[in-house]
Amino acid sequence: MMDLPLEGITVLEFSQYLSGPSAGLRLADLGARVIKIERPEEGEAGRKLSIKNLWVDDSSLLFHTINRNKESFAADLKNPDDLALVKKLMTKADVLIHNFRPGVMQKMGLDYASVQQLNPRLVYAEITGYGTRGPWKEKPGQDLLLQSITGLAFTTGNRANGPVPFGIAIADILCGSQLVQGILGGLIRRQKRGVGALVEISLMESLLDFQFELLTTYYNSHQQPKRSDTNSGHTLLGAPYGVYKTADGFLALAMMDLPALAETIACEGLSAFCNEQAFAERDRIKSILSGHLLQQPTQYWLSRLQQRGLWAMEVFDWAQMTSHESYRALQMEQPLKAEGKKIITTRCPIRFNGARLFSDRPAPKVGEHTEKLIQEMNKLEQVKI
């Protein structure tokens, strides 16, 4: 069995939906024991968050994909007896994660200052929507709302389009990933100094950091970056950067020498432009390219561009991507079995000492490990006596 880097680390996850659970998932993939603290019977709210109405037993497929390899401890945190049990778990835990609104954990006496009294070595990690201060701190921390309020939706699509959000929950996933970075930093600090840490991040801060290129430009120029009129790919990059329709599909063109491109695809109209005009004349150049690339299929252009060493790639849908040899070589698919039903999801993308990290443990049922964990705590108490 692989010696994973976080074996021996126990994580208590007071989280719901995507951001907190995605952080817990990555820690579990790296070897940590992750215990979800859930409400009895109904569990965390993410169990009912369904995409395309896909379900496994009484929980959504989405819940199963982001909560595999975890345990579940059912507790009513308003019940003094249950709360006492949870606090016992905290005394032995290494990490606590929550993504509740500011003040929620404090009302239950589970804020950092209170929990630190129980376990000074605990790394306490929390996600909020907009931070713990300021007029927006109580607003709902939902992904689409964050993409909108941070200006991210104005970075995608052509200039004539309205705001275009990402087609995935980018704020949740980024924030969960960055929280893991903070947690690992807290664990290293604890190893060096013997004390825990409070690790804080918000969805808003994650999306602002995600836009560091654009925001740095804005901070220094005080001008809003403008998207291309057509074939937009990056607001700060000149032509030909973007995606173009061909006779039978689509072609992505990255940064490249304009004269070399013009020669390679035999585009007479493009030969009138030099590299210094790539940004100033971005829309004219892209319009010329758009018309020219429609004349031949994707592979016709791709073979010429790649032979010349120019950065280009076909645009795949998922069926095309998953059938490609390069995709299959990565072995990214992770099979699970839940209630007798086979689920395929993605594995952890990290390789450790050359080995890919797979885990076939499905997401737990609500409270599936409650009794087991209580027995473990009782045994520890008996050993002390």
Is the pLDDT at 6 greater than 60? The verdict is: yes
Q: Which amino acid is at 108?
A: M
Q: How confident is the model at residue 89 (pLDDT cuts 50, 70, 90)?
A: very high
β-strand pairing of 10-14 with 33-38: parallel
Residues involved in catalysis: 172
Average pLDDT for 265-293: 95
pLDDT at 28: 97
Query: Any long-range contacts for 156-165 (C-beta under 8 Å, 24+ apart)?
Result: 156/227, 156/232, 157/227, 157/232, 158/227, 158/228, 158/229, 158/230, 158/231, 158/232, 159/226, 159/227, 159/228, 159/229, 159/232, 160/229, 161/227
Is the pLDDT at 265 greater than 60? The verdict is: yes
- Residue 342 bridge partners (DSSP): 337
Average pLDDT for 105-127: 96
pLDDT at 60: 86
Is the pLDDT at 226 greater than 90? The verdict is: no
More confident residue, 163 or 340: 163
Weakest-pLDDT range from 122-136, 158-172, 183-197, 271-285: 158-172
Cα 72 to Cα 43: distance, rounded to the nearest angstrom: 9
The answer to whether the beta carbons of residues 137 and 200 sit under 8 Å apart is no
Is the pLDDT at 385 greater than 90? The verdict is: no
pTM of the model: 0.90
Domain ranges of the chain: 10-210+330-384, 250-314
Weakest-pLDDT range from 111-120, 188-197, 234-243: 234-243
Q: What is the mean pLDDT of the chain?
A: 93
Average pLDDT for 337-344: 85
Q: How confident is the model at residue 53 (pLDDT cuts 50, 70, 90)?
A: low
Is the pLDDT at 156 greater than 80? The verdict is: yes
pLDDT at 272: 94
Is the pLDDT at 197 greater than 90? The verdict is: yes
Is the pLDDT at 208 greater than 90? The verdict is: yes
CATH no. for 10-210+330-384: 3.40.50.10540
Q: How confident is the model at residue 329 (pLDDT cuts 50, 70, 90)?
A: very high
Cα 346 to Cα 325: distance, rounded to the nearest angstrom: 17
pLDDT at 82: 96
Is the pLDDT at 52 greater than 80? The verdict is: no
